[in-house]
Amino acid sequence: MILIYRFIINFFFPIIIVIIFLRTFFNKEDKNRYKEKIYPSSYNVERNKTKKLFWFHAASIGELKSIVPIIKKLNLDNNLREFLITTSTLSSSRIAKLEFKKMKNISHRFLPYDVDFLINSFLKMWRPNYIFLVDSEIWPNLILKAKKFSIPVAIINARITSKSYKKWIKFPKTAFKIFSSIKLCLTSNKETKKFLESFEVKNVFYYGNIKFINDINENEITNLNENKLINSPFWFAASTHNGEEELCLKTHHFLKDKYKNILTIIAPRHIERSKEIKNLCKKYKLNSQILNYDELIKPNVEIVILNSFGVLQNYFKYAKSVFIGKSTIQSLEEVGGQNPLEAVKLNCKIYHGRYVYNFKDIYEILEKNNISFKIKDHEELGRYLEKDLDPAQKKDDKISEIISVLSNKTLVNTLREVDNFLLNEAD
């Protein structure tokens, strides 16, 4: 099956090149760096080989943010380590720049496609000492090439859905070959641990989802619109996808009966949809504003559409209630949900739809502690928000305390296993 996989991905590689090139015209790829995905050797790398290079791959924003606390701990007071961070999306590259801007020993690149010669070239160029894959980023060529180069591979917050597991078990020999090449697996849930153990993978541990790890300093969060957010009733819809903004606008109309000056703030998961959402606001006869990072909210605006990356915390800090998107869309049932923990860490109540499979274990814990609530339509969401927006209703500081306990335990256990991995796999 490995040979078939390589044949298929090689066969489609010319098409991938064309698609990547076309995406640059729609600002979905970095026009100056897209070659990193399809021709990584075009970028010369001069690294200090006296230092250990730790390579972390996190596909998108959620995965990247989850490993920031771990990287910072590994980097603490250690001048003999360098870090390579790879991501797959344009938005995650921007977040990486923000998160690690003060750390000179951290480089960012886009991950090349899992084509045999690209991965071979990338590994020869960088020569990492350790590879850490995050979440469900299980790339056969990368893992097997790393083994050939004698580079130990670990997976952090590993996640295998029941759907993907059913695909793996159809090819048990291939699954065994790939997973047995991994030296450490820290899983995000008990289900994944069970799946990996069925492939006789060693060193599989479950200590909780690393996305619980708390790395937010509320005192460092600022917002140009602080006065507006403090003095006006508002709620926040984060990581919305196509179809969910309409739910938000209907909820806004519902709330206007009680709160005449209600403000709804929407942060679409893909900010390139901002103009599309503004047009939807016109349809609902709502005054809207596309808000860039350094702008103030205009008077009489009802709907604010955030048009910047890395600003969610700036609004979570002041919001009592947050609706988390990618959760009401039935077509995304198998991949539904967005990580709600960033909002929870800032003491926000969470509302979401029924499709949260990707974060099922997290939402179960939040629901058990009365932190998150499932809604079926805009009216139910509106009724919850009516109560939350009451001036007498304050933010519950105990929410972040619950998460802090969970996060500290997960971080300590994760770092212990990573340290053991580094010790056991030392050159």
User: Rounded to two decimals, what is the model's pTM?
Assistant: 0.78
Residue 228 domain boundaries: 218-403
pLDDT digits (tens, 9 = 90+) for 169-201: 999 999 999 999 999 999 988 889 999 998 888
User: Average pLDDT of 294-307?
Assistant: 94
Q: State whether 124 and 97 are in the same domain.
A: yes
Both 190 and 234 in one domain: the answer is no
Output the pLDDT for position 302.
Answer: 96
Q: Which residue has the higher pLDDT, 240 or 62?
A: 240
Judge whether 249 and 280 are in contact, CB under 8 Å.
yes
**Closest C-alpha to 351, from 368, 334, 367, 329:** 367
Same domain? For 24 and 63 the reply is: yes
Residue 33 · residue 16 · CB < 8 Å: no
Shared domain check, 281 and 395 = yes
Please, which residues have CB within 8 angstroms of residue 248's CB and are 6 or more apart in sequence?
Answer: 237, 240, 264, 266, 303, 323, 378
Q: In CATH, what number is assigned to the domain containing residue 57?
A: 3.40.50.11720
d(CA 211, CA 113): 26
Single residue among 164, 182, 206 that ends a domain in this structure? 206
Whether 420 is in a domain gets the answer no
**pLDDT above 70 covers what percent of the chain?**
98
Same domain, 369 and 248: yes
| 54 and 84 in a common domain | yes
Residue 377 Cα distances to 86, 299, 311, 351, angstroms: 38, 29, 27, 11
Report if residue 340 sits inside a domain.
yes
For 89, the token pair is 């999306």
Question: SS3 for 354?
Answer: coil
* Token reading at 231: 């003095």
Strand 204-206 and strand 372-374: the pairing is: unpaired
Task: Indicate whether 244 belongs to any domain.
Answer: yes
Q: Is the pLDDT of residue 43 over 70?
A: no
Helix%, strand%, coil% for the chain, nearest 5 = 50, 15, 35
**Number of structural domains in the chain:** 2
pLDDT at 398: 83
Are 8 and 148 part of one and the same domain? Answer: yes
Convert the pLDDT of each residue in 258-300 to its tens digit: 999 999 999 999 999 999 999 999 999 999 999 998 899 999 9
Residue identified by tokens 């179809």 is 243
Same domain, 232 and 124: no
> Within this chain, do residues 199 and 228 fall inside the same structural domain, yes or no?
no
CA distance linking residue 90 with residue 362, whole number of Å: 26
Give the model's pLDDT for residue 235. Answer: 97
Q: What is the pLDDT of residue 77?
A: 64
pLDDT score of 258: 93
**pLDDT > 70? residue 42:** no
User: Is the predicted pLDDT of residue 249 greater than 80, yes or no?
Assistant: yes
